[in-house]
Structure 1
């Protein structure tokens, strides 16, 4: 067998359990921080720091817009990184500790002035700057990590299984972060210190798994990088300018469908998780612990269903699994809109139903991206995982920013009343409660239906992917013979 063919066979081998576990652990830290920020940061701004909801939403938007700028940049730079550790691991090694430090700094409430207006703007700029710095290091850690997926294996179903481990840790991290929050709510008697403790504990627990991932995949990544460099030396490929790479990526029609599917799924996820605290506390009249338990119910279900959906995908296909999950999720969102105060048991049932769909939002779009990358390789002769994963992560963060910003603006327009830690909770006007109900039900349901329509049109089936890999293998063998 030729050297190129050897490399191709090596890339398609099954992964060991320790490698899968180590790879999955790489998403634990980013999941912990992302989940805590989504669930608690907006309500921390409005109910602890005392920032107006419109201004609070703007803080999140500014940070994420900057984050959107650095995603494709880090993706392209990681594609071009030259190191014996491969293209991705050096970014994770150097970004891990600052990632934890700046996450913690987001939960401090400095005081800039006794004048409320001046203090509001001081807090605004403090949180904007810390958010920008945190998101820079989040990207340094998370984006190269996500780009490891197609580098570790080329097997169609093995990638879905690999993503199952990744998102098991991801959802597990989200659940762990909320369990920690529940423990802190109960053990720390000073409510004003709850989020500071959450930030500190989660910062430490987010950094350590990054280095578990690096150590666990290190040997395989080094071996694959050596193979990749040998293939490039034998078959040099002309570098394509960055803007032209973007043009090629966005002329890849399946990639556009995946972008749409992913954006719709995550916009619904982020909007729902952001609004749940307001829905449970202000509309249902329940406590912090109850809304945390409701989110845990969603995420535990999503975690358990990951492996069920992964097996179902091998038999039914990715699109069919996505449709099944989304259908249950849409029903759950409409049910939440119709829910009445006092129907706590039904609320948990609907949360579990939503978890069935949230699981497919994690699993399916990410398992589609490696297929798109191989189609691009067939068309261009280059593998640009960083570019494609950069835009996927960019869209995830844009969906988060857009969701948080719109929630903040909607609360502001509806007359939502903010509070400061230690003060009695205000009674919200009917207009604010109505806005909260619409944001928890019909609006995310509509977005999910649009995502289902795009999934129906997605063209890469298992058979199409097998044909792509066959053409790539034939090309590699032809090049080695020449």
Structure 2
């Protein structure tokens, strides 16, 4: 009997948190490897220009951005099929992705051409989306209460940070073994991580489950949609998630925190090597220590977000990250090199901020389907996961392509040990101005985000109130809370609005 057939709530145990969190070895681990090393690998060992390298990254992200919502939509509707009933509508995709995960290692073969790297990167992005999109829905599938979902998010980020630490230090160890000029460093790293990805996905499939869907508006009898009708409604349904106020604000915070890190990651390796006269070994050490500090920051952020406000924790995190970036810039202007002991100071500030910025959006994401449910009367975790990934990857693609184009326009030369003053100035400007500008955007959005443990409890109580047949709020205070989170008047909730109207059933 598949897990989805169970009727009694299952107890979330330690091994459940570990299996769920362990899958972020793929989520955070692969992205840590790619964001730190892929551009320098392409430009130093593959002969690609900065523009070509970032175009590969950007094209793969754009293509994946259109694939990810489709996977989210399919996982929402696969439960009607035999495959969904047998393996789980989410977990089927995770199982199918396991034998395809070695595609990560294929990306790191040196000496190939532009089209080889474009195709292999796109292939891995497709496999990554196939596994990660359903994974991102599982916390909401396995738990309903605020605290348990927050612990799932914490387990994910904690283990993800551990994998990111390995992603930073492993190349340094391989460099020490193989030498600084060996491209095999990156191939061996890809093989090791491919094995870890497969193990993590297997454990996730074994120890996860999907809870039965409660009766709601999507249980009303209706014809199963044809494939054509489902595709016609796909993007209409997905973009309807942006009509949920809490989700719009959540996306603003998410993008502010993550795009600031995309820009920082894309420029940081070049900043250390060319602006600070460092090396790839020094980059590995600095990035590794950053991820260690991020691990500590996640532990602090979990407690902060559980007890107080995620938005307040977000603002503290953004301030810390910004302080680290500013200190880096000041030390560069003062003429320090990457060997200076003082460079651990901005690493600590940046790491504390980045760790919390990684955790907080994913902790709040787990509650977005609850806000949507009170508006539509349906559970659409897959749609929200797809939209988040779509927006995230489109914006990430644009950010990284912009970094590459700026560097190329400033005269960056691939495979060169020295760069012109103009190229170095461009690298420093991207790292400073780009990172800080996105942090400011995220902070401004966070001032309007009011989802807390207390308001989430009110939200769940009102969902049950409406599910019981009520059409008036349980109290004026409760009405005010759910109207603020949803962005809709109370009398328009529970399907009485255009958001629910275009749903495919």
Q: TM-score range by the shorter chain?
A: 0.7 to 0.9
Could you say what secondary structure the match of 1:109 adopts?
A: coil
Counterpart position of 2:91:
89
TM-superposed deviation, 1:393: 1.9
TM-superposed deviation, 1:237: 6.3
1:348 to 344, 348, 356: 344
- Alignment CA distance shift 1:446-1:271 (3 Å): same
TM-superposed deviation, 1:233: 11
TM-superposed deviation, 1:55: 1.5
Counterpart position of 2:481:
none
Q: Does structure 2 retain, via aligned residues, the 8 Å contact 1:237–1:381?
A: no
Which whole-Å CA distance do the structure 2 matches of 1:473 and 1:42 have between them? 50
Could you say what secondary structure the match of 2:47 adopts?
A: coil
Counterpart position of 1:147:
137
Q: What are the superposed Cα offsets for residues 83-131 of structure 1, whole Å, 9 maximum, x if unpaired?
A: 233211110111122122x2111111355xxxxxxxxxxx222222112
TM-superposed deviation, 1:383: 0.5
TM-superposed deviation, 1:18: 1.1
- Alignment CA distance shift 1:125-1:235 (3 Å): closer
Q: Does structure 2 retain, via aligned residues, the 8 Å contact 1:333–1:442?
A: no
- Alignment CA distance shift 1:247-1:33 (3 Å): closer
2:30 to 30, 33, 36: 33
TM-superposed deviation, 1:464: 2.7
- Gaps of at least 5 residues in structure 1 are 1-5, 112-122, 420-424
Q: Give the alignment's TM-score, normalised by structure 2.
A: 0.84
TM-superposed deviation, 1:38: 0.9
* Residue 465 (structure 1) aligned with residue 456 (structure 2): yes
Which whole-Å CA distance do the structure 2 matches of 1:231 and 1:206 have between them? 36
TM-superposed deviation, 1:301: 0.8
TM-superposed deviation, 1:234: 11
TM-superposed deviation, 1:232: 6.8
* Residue 62 (structure 1) aligned with residue 59 (structure 2): yes
Structure number with higher helix proportion = 1
Counterpart position of 1:174:
164
Instruction: Write the mapping of 1:81-480 to structure 2, written as runs, cut at 5 A.
Output: 81-82=78-79, 83=84, 84-100=86-102, 102-111=103-112, 123-189=113-179, 191-217=182-208, 220-221=209-210, 224=211, 227-228=212-213, 231=215, 235-236=219-220, 241-340=233-332, 341-342=336-337, 344-419=340-415, 425-478=416-469
Q: What are the superposed Cα offsets for residues 282-312 of structure 1, whole Å, 9 maximum, x if unpaired?
A: 1111121111111111111111121211112
Q: Does structure 1 retain, via aligned residues, the 8 Å contact 2:69–2:390?
A: yes
Could you say what secondary structure the match of 2:367 adopts?
A: helix
TM-superposed deviation, 1:399: 3.5
- Alignment CA distance shift 1:30-1:365 (3 Å): closer
Q: Does structure 2 retain, via aligned residues, the 8 Å contact 1:70–1:136?
A: yes
Q: Does structure 1 retain, via aligned residues, the 8 Å contact 2:262–2:399?
A: yes
Q: Does structure 2 retain, via aligned residues, the 8 Å contact 1:294–1:351?
A: yes
Could you say what secondary structure the match of 2:60 adopts?
A: helix
Which whole-Å CA distance do the structure 2 matches of 1:67 and 1:242 have between them? 16
Q: Which piece of structure 1 moves more, 174-183 or 288-297? A: 174-183
TM-superposed deviation, 1:251: 1.0
TM-superposed deviation, 1:32: 2.0
Q: Which piece of structure 1 moves more, 397-406 or 369-378? A: 397-406
Q: Does structure 2 retain, via aligned residues, the 8 Å contact 1:14–1:153?
A: no
C-alpha root-mean-square deviation of aligned residues, in Å? 2.2
Which whole-Å CA distance do the structure 2 matches of 1:138 and 1:184 have between them? 25
- Gaps of at least 5 residues in structure 2 are 1-5, 471-505
- Alignment CA distance shift 1:46-1:150 (3 Å): same
Q: What are the superposed Cα offsets for residues 254-292 of structure 1, whole Å, 9 maximum, x if unpaired?
A: 111111111111111111112111111111111211111
Q: Does structure 2 retain, via aligned residues, the 8 Å contact 1:107–1:195?
A: yes
Counterpart position of 1:3:
none
TM-superposed deviation, 1:14: 6.4
- Alignment CA distance shift 1:395-1:339 (3 Å): farther
Which whole-Å CA distance do the structure 1 matches of 2:351 and 2:110 have between them? 33
Which whole-Å CA distance do the structure 1 matches of 2:395 and 2:292 have between them? 23
